[in-house]
Amino acid sequence: MISQEIEHLIELNMESLKNYIDLNYALVDMGKIHEKLQISDSQYLSLLSEREVEYLEEFKIYKKKLQWLCGRYAVKKALFKYKIFKKSIVDLNSVDVLKGADSAPYIHQYPNINVSITHSFPYCIGVVSENNIGVDVEKIFKVENSLINFFFSDREKSILSKGTTLHERNVQAIKYWTRKEAISKFLRLGMNMDFKKLDTVDDELQIGDYKIKLFSFVYKDCCLSLALPCSESFK
């Protein structure tokens, strides 16, 4: 379960980003949804479209099913907030949150809205915006040297080698990793991106025609990062 303290902090941080860019989000507690599913799944199935229900039934592994369901639930909650802000309403079970050829989620009925989903039990976050967005959350864990050597840039590795404690090193490594994931989602490249060539030490970077601003927040047991367009992109 997500602690009230961390839930409050995530909400504060996500709300603060609304001062930077127009976005709507929803934080979903996968642990709570898991418990409710053991009793009845009607509450969540009622929010799914016919296409989504058919897709859900194809899952054989419960963990994947839970992740997928929570992701759709989070996106639809975020979309509902977006529509309320626009002074409109939407029938959520008529909305299809699908996966594109690039594996990135999209809303079939709203092609102008960008979508990003992330989950690391018990955290699941869905974000919608008319701008490019990427979000990633990861629980803090011991990061093996093999992963760092394979996926991290020379500058990132240099900074990690100076960490005073193993915990500080792990936190910094997870921060870099979530930034890489967020950028790949922003660009809709997924794991097709060469993470080793992607240096995320600085908060701003340019990749091709995209100027990207990175925001990262560290909590007791997880790290959250978002990739958003640089503010000058709106000028």
What pLDDT, in 10s, does the model give residues 211-229?
A: 999 999 999 999 999 999 9
User: Looking at this protein, which amino acid is placed at residue 98?
Assistant: L
Q: Are residues 143 and 169 in the same domain?
A: yes
Look at residues 137, 120, 105, 128 and name the one whose alpha carbon lies nearest to residue 66. 120
Give the tokens for residue 53. 């229900």
Q: Are residues 156 and 81 in the same domain?
A: no
Residue 38, pLDDT above cutoff 70: yes
Within-domain flag for 36: yes
C-alpha span between 154 and 129 (Å, rounded) = 33
The β-bridge partners of 202 are: none
Q: Are residues 82 and 105 in the same domain?
A: yes
**Interval 115-156: pLDDT, tens:** 999 999 999 999 999 999 999 999 999 999 999 999 999 999
What integer is the mean pLDDT of 8-27? Answer: 97
Residue 191, pLDDT above cutoff 80: no
**Interval 56-107: pLDDT, tens:** 999 999 999 999 999 999 999 999 999 998 889 889 999 999 998 788 999 9
Burial class (CB in 10 A: 0-12, 13-18, 19+), 222: buried
**Domain CATH for 64:** 3.90.470.20
Within-domain flag for 1: no
pTM of the model: 0.94
Range of the domain at 159: 138-234
Q: Are residues 117 and 142 in the same domain?
A: no
